[in-house]
Structure 1
């Protein structure tokens, strides 16, 4: 019997996950059955169970794949001696997700809601948030050292605010209102805001 290539195995895995994600986004995790996933992907039970023994395994794999892409973008920026401005980093994350994943935007809300029931998923998300906060705080520290951001701001507070901004955009996108163009303009608008005392100093 001919051996199946790794490329074929990876392609089949993506096919299953993308089909499952469509089901989850449409009917929710608990409204979706394994039979629904089989019908959506057009695969046999044996083919699907070869990769994923349960719906929970699929959910964890989807979450892992998305979070890894997000974290890699932040990590790259955090190790740069001159990281891009915050708006460019956030846009890079959104664009990477859009380019690499066919999962419906509603999946984000489904995953967040599932953390209240699934301890393993909750732990995964907590670990991810901690890692991203660490990366963002490192970026903020570089901004401050370069004189590009006020030095009296706690880096972690800035980091968590930027993460909240990204999460808010994901919610808007899941509800059908997210557009990269307005995210780009909005972030740049906030970055160019000047307080009265700053204007006085420059006069």
Structure 2
């Protein structure tokens, strides 16, 4: 029997994660069964359970993957001197996250904002998922603290406000924008970038 390549295994795992993410975004975690996932990805139960034992592992894999990607993105930005401006950096990260359209029909909005809101809700009742979220968020916030410190060192941002507090607000801005996309209407990422530039332009009244 021919040995299955690692490339094939990785591609199959990717297929399962993307299909499950789309299912969860459509109907929520509790209304989605493993049978729904199997149908979406077009695989047998044995093929899927080879990678994931159930919905809980799938949810954890999806969340962990996104958080790791965001952490790596912001850590790379923190290495630059100075880091890219907040509007550029946040806009770039959101645009790339929202571009994930696997299984989405042409013209349909990205499913990722809906999925992220589903994850937040599930985190309130799922201790294991909450632990993954808390750990991932902490790492992303640490990366953002380094970015803010880079702004302060370059004279791009006032340095009399603790970097951690600024980092929390920058993360909250991105999270709030995602919530608007999921709950209300589809707004281009450029709207968030313009808003951030407007806020950063504030000075003392003349």
TM-score by length of 2: 0.89
Partner residue of 1:193? 202
Distance 1:181 1:81 in 2: 24
1:69–1:97 contact (8 Å) kept in structure 2: no
Which of 113, 128, 137 aligns to 1:120? It is 128
Partner residue of 2:111? 104
2:43 is the alignment partner of 1:36 = no
What SS does the aligned partner of 2:17 have? helix
What SS does the aligned partner of 1:60 have? helix
Distance 1:139 1:48 in 2: 39
Deviation sequence 1:92-126 (CA, Å, 0-9, x none) = 21122134564722110111111112212111111
Higher relative contact order (CA 8 A, sep 6+): 2
Q: Larger radius of gyration, structure 1 or 2?
A: 1
Deviation at 1:178, TM superposition (A): 3.3
Deviation sequence 1:134-192 (CA, Å, 0-9, x none) = 11112212222222111211111101000000101111122333321211221122222
Distance 2:186 2:137 in 1: 24
* RMSD after superposition: 1.6
The equivalences for 1:1-203 within 5 A come to 1-99=1-99, 102=102, 104-105=111-112, 106-175=114-183, 176-196=185-205, 200=206
1:73–1:92 contact (8 Å) kept in structure 2: no
1:23–1:36 contact (8 Å) kept in structure 2: yes
Aligned length: 197
Q: Please list every run of 5 or more consecutive structure 1 residues that lacks an aligned counterpart in the other structure.
A: none
Q: Please list every run of 5 or more consecutive structure 2 residues that lacks an aligned counterpart in the other structure.
A: 103-109
Q: Which 4+ stretches in 1 moved above 6 angstroms?
A: none
TM-score by length of 1: 0.90
Distance 1:73 1:28 in 2: 28
Distance 1:60 1:144 in 2: 35
Distance 1:84 1:23 in 2: 35
